Structure 1
């Protein structure tokens, strides 16, 4: 899950003895002995202050002991050592209320996470997590198009955070030109390997890029549909993405996406380290971007430990 490379963001201290201590500390925390984990890491970090992985684990152990201030200090040290945040320290800070959730997006953490996940992504999502976002989004768009008397057909579709192409597979027959982006090179490799019934590539264009950067590279009013299936659970502040979606959409174009939700206000990071966005917050951000919601429906797109995860399915239109 953690990208290999320099010790600034790897799971190694550069010293095999200290790495073994880290493994013992990790095992102690897994066994429920957070105090032992802290004791081992105190010794380890005294000799390897640069050991980012150890600081992250130290924060988790301090949190388990109920020491939130100490946990926050450890995760801030992670960010000092690794500003690109390959360990998701921002998510942990937001999760305990030590950072605003809107500021906690960590694209590097998401990218490395999904690189490691790519090979088993499709089977794990559909079988273990009962993932249904593509089917739910397609059904909602078909219903809305039918009610509006417009064809369920889109000349140009942009699939944000396309992963291995599950959403692309769902809308390929309704799309003329289909382009996708994802932070994970390995996810893009899997999507690139998929084909249509006639043997042609599933996607007409694929890019390794964050979704806002990808949208920024697209021309004005170039798309008829922008879709984001379970992608915004990895982004806190959505205003930049919404603004770019509004810019690239043609008049009457649709923006369809799913999110995890919660009953409170604003944006929070849950224990699963995913963002949950409140309905009122989403409505405000869409309005600010010049997008009009035409459907905001409760929808659970996956399960966590056999329990449906609360969410919303949103379809908005460019005026």
Structure 2
């Protein structure tokens, strides 16, 4: 499993590199009036145990108001709370051995133009002495929805899923609809996408290939939408709608998101864990 862990971590890092390059390329084509944004790259370390990662954040660009594309590879011993949560999920051996290893990429983009949708994507591999699994997904979060944008995003993810499992898209779309729901608001935080976790069919290569397909589908699913909407005229009412919608995003990530909870519980860099939060938000 050491070789598989190295392969997965290296691929997640390569995906990070390609996405940040693509986003900086989009900044170069963005509306005039400001210098193209560039990522600030900061190494991160865990407060305890071992490992770390790369935090890449761009602020105040032409297209992206704030976007983070983080990569991590961490290992150590789970806290009692995290160990108990995984044991409750049925992770083999978790009752007896709290050691773990994890690697992945996590991305959240908040846009300057309210017509351009916010977006989230992540893929990851997790290992314990008793098990390994993959997880991840992508979901679109527009404050002003365009049906054709939603259709393009979902169609791109559907094609990625269909190549690996006839029922994958339907299963993982339904899971995303359930997972990215805000119970105290009684609504979804966006227009969905796909979400999967604890994926272990017994065939590591097949499961990794599917995880890679989801990651590779992200840029074709999102970039055309950002490029189409980034220069559209907008007014104060549009910006107000965007800020209110960002409040929903912040509430979800702070209250419900598994990745936020895991990152903080395992002592990873708090700024890296919370990079998903928007730069500005509004509540009414």
**Structure whose residues are more often strand by fraction:** 2
TM-score category (smaller protein): under 0.3
Larger Rg: 1
Q: Which has the higher contact order (CA 8 A, sep 6+)?
A: 2
**TM-score, normalised relative to structure 2:** 0.26
